[in-house]
């Protein structure tokens, strides 16, 4: 299947020599009318697409300060040029953040600045042509919106914002990406990314209750649509479907059981992820976010907690209050929303739940900081709590924890290679190559500390690594959910 070479793992992050255009062939399937329409986008390029695109750019410049400031402020200093995992993995210079930005900035300069109007060559301004649009489609689908470049930019220019804006422009002229748009349509129609209808969800959850009963002898519940529960849990639908995600879901259920706090899932909001973020469509992002408010009101819950999902946590933590707030109908003693790690961490701290670390003694664990949790959100009260709290949870659940190299974790963490709407089979080459920096860092802790498992708190990271680990000589089941560790260590009543 693979018609590309998996890169060699490296000792430290190496900056490759440029290979121009080597990834220009990489582009995801284009969306069709049937997937465009439910999102309010045209199905195909109209004759006047250029005018529409330029007008859309103008509208975004007027309504998004970040875009306007970022278009103007870049001085081409080069600080970001070696920061993108896709550049490090592919060597294509267009995957350097500034070069990616310049694909849009050139058009911005041409149509919205004086020098670009009169001296285009001098300032790198370009006409919007079909060729430029093709480059947009290719390279703005080689950015996982991970924000690593924004950490290092002296002006805080975030390529993710520019990628989102360009994808929004492309959707406005009918050139959408099939993967993201088909999924958003399913969320509107069925309630989640998978297209998992209520009866199937119910059956899956009943099956999990049986499994946990068989395994522990205890009736741990997985409630669905239960009015009057204390907590609404919103989790990625991958948690109902895929490995190792589902073991994390079992972990959440055991934590609620052990803490004696009633909870429920919702079939109306059976998805934490909000792909509206990926395509830069605020309208769709808002619409998707509103489901969560509706579910919380309908079920009469007092708290909202999000499961392990990276971009979902960004939208939940940073945007939910804006998009679907205010949440004055919820219990004001708790932040809205909370992350499952915050919840579990608090219970561990207060001694409400007990973990037996030795049950994870067969594992030596490291932790992958998911990009959007790391650089676009927080947990707890302290800046940087998003790094501390998941690690505290892991360390409370197992005896052997080892961090990867400091330049590859925390705010400097590398994306898994599949974020931002790129977790699709038609981008396999990009996904494998983009995982190179993370895989290299993993190899180092495997060699130094005999690490056996990498834990993560993001559905995309988990799926991406399950798929990509084997390309680099690891096993697909070396990626696990943080709450899988909790699940295996937690002491439930009948076992005491």
Partner 1 sequence: MFVTVLFALLFYVATAIFLVGLGMRIARYARTPAPLKIPTTPAPTTRGGVVVRMGTEVLLFNSLFKANKWIWLFGFMFHVALALVLLRHLRYFLDPVPTWVVLIQPFGMYAAFAMVIGLAGLWARRVFVERIRYISSPSDHLMLALLLGIALTGLGMTYLWHTDISAVKLFFTGLMRFELNPLPTQPLLLLHLFLVASLMVIFPFSKLLHAPGVFFSPTRNQVDNPREKRHVANVKWMIAVEKPAASADQ
Partner 2 sequence: MPIEAGGKTYETDEEGYLADLNDWNPDLATAMAKADGADLDENHWEVINFLREYYEEYQIAPAVRVLTKAIGKKLGPEKGNSKYLYELFPYGPAKQACKYAGLPKPTGCV
Q: Which residues bind partner 2 (CB under 8 A)?
A: 1, 29, 178-179, 182-183, 186, 192-197, 199-200, 203-204, 207-208, 211, 236-238, 240-243, 245-246, 271, 273, 309, 423, 425-426, 459-460, 462-463, 467, 476
Residue 190 or 456: the one with the smaller Cβ distance to partner 1 is 190
Whether the link from the prior residue into 337 is cis, omega within 30° of 0, is yes
374 sits near partner 1 (criterion: CB under 8 A): yes
Residue 480, CA atoms < 13 Å, CB-side half-sphere: 21
User: What is the Cα–Cα distance from 128 to 318, expressed in whole angstroms?
Assistant: 34
Residue 94 or 245: the one with the smaller Cβ distance to partner 1 is 94
Residue 96 or 341: the one with the smaller Cβ distance to partner 1 is 96
Residue 80 or 365: the one with the smaller Cβ distance to partner 1 is 80
User: What is the Cα–Cα distance from 281 to 285, expressed in whole angstroms?
Assistant: 6
Residue 237 or 386: the one with the smaller Cβ distance to partner 2 is 237
User: What is the Cα–Cα distance from 483 to 247, expressed in whole angstroms?
Assistant: 7
Residue 374 or 441: the one with the smaller Cβ distance to partner 1 is 374
| Partner from partner 1, partner 2, none contacting 236, C-beta within 5 to 8 A by type | partner 2
User: What is the Cα–Cα distance from 323 to 298, expressed in whole angstroms?
Assistant: 18
User: Six-digit token pair at 352?
Assistant: 């409400």
Chain centre distance of CA 487: 23
User: Six-digit token pair at 224?
Assistant: 């669905």
220: closest CA among 252, 247, 253? 253
56 sits near partner 1 (criterion: CB under 8 A): no
Which residue has tokens 């006409």?
127
Residue 94 or 483: the one with the smaller Cβ distance to partner 2 is 483
209 sits near partner 1 (criterion: CB under 8 A): no
Q: Which residues contact 320 (CB under 8 A, 6 or more apart)?
A: 289, 292, 336, 337
User: What is the Cα–Cα distance from 239 to 476, expressed in whole angstroms?
Assistant: 17
65 sits near partner 1 (criterion: CB under 8 A): yes
User: What is the Cα–Cα distance from 402 to 236, expressed in whole angstroms?
Assistant: 27
Q: Residues 12 to 51: which contact partner 1 by CB under 8 A? A: 15, 17-18, 38
Q: Residues 381 to 410: which contact partner 1 by CB under 8 A? A: 381, 383-384, 386-387
Residue count of the chain: 496
Q: How far is the CB of 418 from partner 2 (least distance, A)?
A: 9
Number of neighbouring beta carbons within 10 Å of residue 477: 11
Interface residue with partner 1 among 9, 55, 61, 242 (CB under 8 A) is: 61
291 sits near partner 1 (criterion: CB under 8 A): yes
102 sits near partner 1 (criterion: CB under 8 A): yes
212 sits near partner 1 (criterion: CB under 8 A): no
Q: How far is the CB of 286 from partner 1 (least distance, A)?
A: 6
Binding mask 125-164 for partner 1 (x = CB under 8 A): ----------------------x--xxxxxxxxx--x---
Q: Which helix (H) or strand (E) holds 324?
A: helix 320-324
């Amino acid at each position: 299947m693979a018609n590309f070479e998996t890169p060699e793992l490296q000792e430290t992050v190496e900056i490759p020599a440029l290979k121009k255009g080597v990834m220009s062939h990489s582009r995801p399937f284009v969306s069709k009318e049937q997937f465009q329409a439910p999102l309010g986008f045209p199905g195909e390029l109209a004759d006047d697409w250029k005018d529409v695109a330029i007008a859309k750019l103008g509208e975004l410049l007027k309504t998004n300060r970040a875009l306007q400031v970022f278009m103007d402020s870049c001085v081409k200093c080069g600080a970001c040029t070696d920061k993108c995992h896709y550049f490090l993995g592919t060597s294509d210079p267009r995957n350097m953040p500034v070069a990616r930005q310049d694909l849009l900035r050139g058009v911005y300069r041409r149509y919205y600045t004086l020098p670009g109007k009169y001296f285009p060559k001098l300032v790198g301004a370009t006409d919007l042509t079909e060729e430029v649009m093709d480059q947009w489609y290719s390279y703005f689908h080689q950015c996982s919106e991970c924000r690593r470049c924004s950490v290092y930019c002296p002006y805080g220019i975030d390529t993710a914002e520019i990628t989102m804006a360009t994808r929004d422009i492309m959707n406005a002229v009918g050139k959408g990406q099939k993967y993201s748009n088909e999924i958003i349509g399913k969320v509107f129609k069925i309630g989640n990314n998978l297209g998992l209808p209520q009866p199937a969800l119910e059956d899956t959850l009943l099956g999990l209750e049986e499994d946990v009963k068989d395994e522990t002898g205890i009736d741990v519940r997985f409630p669905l649509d239960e009015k009057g529960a204390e907590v609404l849990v919103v989790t990625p639908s991958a948690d109902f479907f895929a490995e190792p995600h589902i073991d994390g879901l079992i972990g959440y259920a055991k934590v609620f059981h052990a803490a004696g706090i009633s909870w429920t899932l919702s079939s109306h909001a059976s998805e934490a992820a909000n792909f509206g973020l990926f395509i830069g469509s605020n309208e769709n992002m808002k619409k998707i976010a509103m489901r969560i408010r509706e579910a919380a009101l309908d079920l009469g819950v007092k708290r909202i907690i999000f499961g392990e999902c990276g971009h979902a946590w960004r939208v939940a933590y940073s945007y939910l209050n804006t998009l679907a707030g205010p949440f004055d109908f919820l219990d004001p003693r708790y932040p809205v929303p909370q992350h499952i790690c915050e919840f579990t961490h608090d219970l561990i701290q207060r001694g409400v739940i007990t973990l037996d670390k030795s049950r994870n003694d067969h594992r030596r664990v490291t932790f992958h900081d998911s990009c959007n949790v790391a650089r676009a959100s927080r947990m707890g009260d302290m800046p940087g709590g998003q790094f501390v709290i998941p690690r505290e949870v892991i360390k409370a659940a197992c005896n052997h924890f080892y961090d990867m190299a400091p330049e590859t974790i925390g705010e400097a963490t590398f994306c898994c290679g599949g974020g931002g709407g790129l977790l699709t089979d038609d981008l396999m080459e990009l996904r494998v190559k983009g995982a190179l920096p993370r895989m290299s860092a993993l190899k180092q802790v495997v060699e130094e500390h005999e690490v056996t498992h990498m834990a993560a708190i993001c559905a995309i990271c988990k799926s991406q690594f399950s798929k990509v680990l084997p390309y680099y000589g690891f096993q697909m089941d070396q990626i696990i959910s943080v709450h899988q560790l909790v699940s295996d260590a937690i002491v439930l009543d009948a076992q005491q």
